[in-house]
Amino acid sequence: YYIQYSAVDSNPLSIYIMHPFWNSVVKILPTWLAPNLITLTGFMFLVLTFSLLSFYDFDFYASGEGHTHVPSWVWIVAGLFNFLAYTLDGVDGKQARRTNSSTPLGELFDHGLDSWACVFFVATAYSVFGRGETGVSVVTLYYLLWVVLFSFILSHWEKYNTGILFLPWGYDISEVTISIVYIVTAVVGVETWYKPVIGNIHYRNLFTVLIVGCLFVVTLPMSLYNVFKAYRNNTLKHSSVYEALLPFFSPVLLFVLSTLWISLSPTDIIEKQPRIFYLMVGTAFSNVTCKLIVCQMSNTRCKPLSLLLLPMTAVVLLVISGTLQNGEITVLYIWTAIVLLTHIHYGVSVVKQLSDHFNIYAFSLKKPNSD
Q: Which sequence positions are flagged as catalytic?
A: 111
Q: How far is CA 303 from the centre of its chain?
A: 21
Q: In terms of Cα–Cα distance, which of 16, 5, 154 is closest to 92?
A: 5
- Which of these, 78, 280, 263, lies nearest to 184 by C-alpha position? 78
Helix (H, G, I), strand (E, B), or coil: what is residue 7? strand
Amino acid at 251: P
C-alpha to C-alpha distance for 221 and 315, rounded to whole angstroms: 36
Neighbours of 117 (CB within 10 A): 22
Rounded to whole angstroms, how far apart are CA atoms 52 and 46?
10
Residue among 297, 237, 292 at smallest CA distance from 1:
297
CA 23: distance to chain centroid? 24
Alpha carbon of residue 307 to chain centroid: 20
**Antiparallel, parallel or unpaired: β 196-198 and 201-202:** antiparallel
Please name the helix (run of DSSP H) or strand (run of DSSP E) that holds residue 166, with its range, or none. strand 165-166
